Amino acid sequence: MIFESTYELRQGLKPAVKVTGDKVEVIDVAKLQDGLIDELARSATFGTEPVKAYARWLIWEIGQALGARPASIHEFYTGRAKGLWENRTVPAMNIRFTAYDTVRAALRAAKRTNAGALIFEIARSEMSYCDLPPAEYSAMVIAAAIKEGYFHPLFIQGDHFQVKAAKYKTDPEGAIKEVKDLIKEAVPAGFWNIDIDTSTLVTLEPPTLAEQQKHNYERSAEITQYIRDLEPAGVTISLGGEIGEVGEKNSTPEELDAYMQGYAAALKARGDYAGLSKVSVQTGTSHGGIVLPDGTIAKVAVDFDTLKVLGDRAREYGAGGAVQHGASTLPEDFFNKFPEVETLEIHLATGFMNLFMDHPAFPPKLSEQIHKFLDVAAADERKANMTDAQFYYKSRKKAMGPFKPEMWGMSAEAKEALYCALEEKFAFFYEKLNITNTQALVDKIVTVVEYHQPRPKSARVAGDDLGLSD
């Protein structure tokens, strides 16, 4: 069910939630979890604009009341630099499809394994082609936590808040403003973990590494200041930097030094601001993996020795360590190695989408519809030497937004099989990355702030609202 108005929404939630002006009180958690939160999540995704805004606000405020609150992982990461924990790698998981049900699967796996050190993230590019703006994404994460009874810190992350290199060449301030505008939208929505990606601005022409990294670290410091000035009281947003484009050549300790030293100086010149809690590096992977003509994924070599050296070097600057991108399609026997070399964080995305869309329970007719859509909508991405398998593999992420209603509307039988498979995959990563039994550690280290959002203006002026708070 999708609520048709804010009044109907409020009336529908009456058995479980009391709304008085800007105050939201949960009076029956069981009734909320029994089905009402499902309707609220669906309305927050597919309702009219006033209904979506009001539903998202209610989800946020219910989460505040119950303890399903967005938080920053900054303290946990700087705690690693101080030696408070070790030998664990935090999974940052890009949820591109059916965000509510997929996060539910991830949280069921977390409860099973007592895992608390985990991040739900979405990249700037994914927000567009998956039709998942910040307010909707965070609402789905919080709603999933409410449904599953996961009342612990929720780490929601903006992945690759990237400055577009092509635009920067012709309009540098405009390119930076695009990222700042997204940050201004994301921070109030609970994105209290942000990866600043100005690595696209690295230029290899200058003779020294400091000069090559100059635009990278100066703009990273500028965006850091912008974020810090937007932070809610009591929150230090976890920020990551990046020293080289993922998929290009492997990073070096000297590049990391040039970036971190330049960044520190540039940030100090702007005032007394907290710096980075991590830095992303390149050690041999590629986003999405490298697909072969038959549709299988090529095996790649990860330079674990370099990854360890870079992580150790990052901790010398007070950060928690190094971040590995583009890892979800690696061979399964690789993942236990990341905690062994003290990788701080690992980004996982395409592998979940592959499991979902390639699963026998995924509706064949829906696959056909997606392929027909991609033949037209992504035709400019098809290279002359591409097989169909390669083309659909590389482009199908672009179908996540256009086919969002169909994916939400799959049969109960299909959903049961798909989300059970995803739950097992999440549990696999938690165990391999050694973040099982971290819930108490996270709860001990991380400060969770109570933060209330203003009731949406659209709900206040909607014709059926009339101030009738319940």
The pLDDT score that the predictor gives to residue 288 is 46
DSSP conformation class of 207: S
pLDDT digits (tens, 9 = 90+) for 307-363: 999 999 999 999 999 999 878 778 888 999 999 999 999 999 999 999 999 999 999
The pLDDT score that the predictor gives to residue 327 is 80
In a domain, 264, yes or no: yes
Shared domain check, 428 and 296: yes
Measure the CA–CA gap between 417 and 95, rounded to whole angstroms.
18
The pLDDT score that the predictor gives to residue 465 is 40
The pLDDT score that the predictor gives to residue 464 is 40
In a domain, 57, yes or no: yes
In a domain, 468, yes or no: no
Which residues, 6 or more positions from 469, have their beta carbon under 8 angstroms from its beta carbon? 10, 19, 20, 21
In a domain, 312, yes or no: yes
Measure the CA–CA gap between 69 and 138, rounded to whole angstroms.
10
The pLDDT score that the predictor gives to residue 301 is 64
Measure the CA–CA gap between 242 and 79, rounded to whole angstroms.
20
Measure the CA–CA gap between 193 and 458, rounded to whole angstroms.
28
Q: Which residues of 174-196 are buried (b: 16+ CB within 10 A; e: fewer)?
A: ebbebbbebbeebbbbbbbbbbb
The pLDDT score that the predictor gives to residue 232 is 96
Q: In sequence order, what DSSP letters do the residues of 117-131 get, joined into one string? A: --EEEEEHHHHHHTT
Identify the domain containing residue 107 by its residue range: 71-357+410-445
The pLDDT score that the predictor gives to residue 303 is 87
Shared domain check, 189 and 328: yes
In a domain, 371, yes or no: yes
Shared domain check, 151 and 62: no
Shared domain check, 427 and 391: no
Shared domain check, 89 and 39: no
Q: Give the CATH number for residue 262.
A: 3.20.20.70
Shared domain check, 283 and 224: yes
In a domain, 467, yes or no: no
Shared domain check, 119 and 40: no
Q: How many domains does the chain have?
A: 3
SS3 percent helix, strand, coil of the chain, rounded to 5, is 55, 10, 35
Shared domain check, 140 and 38: no
Shared domain check, 21 and 141: no
In a domain, 466, yes or no: no
In a domain, 60, yes or no: yes
Shared domain check, 421 and 389: no
Helix (H) or strand (E) holding 457: helix 457-461
- C-alpha separations of 212 from 23, 221, 285, 316, 451 in Å: 52, 16, 22, 22, 40
- Helix, coil or strand: residue 190: coil
Shared domain check, 99 and 51: no
**Parallel, antiparallel or unpaired: strands 238-242 and 23-26:** unpaired
Please measure the distance between the N-terminal and C-terminal CA atoms of the chain and give it in whole angstroms.
21
For the chain, list residues with pLDDT below 50: 246-247, 287-289, 292, 461-470
Measure the CA–CA gap between 244 and 286, rounded to whole angstroms.
12
Shared domain check, 189 and 253: yes
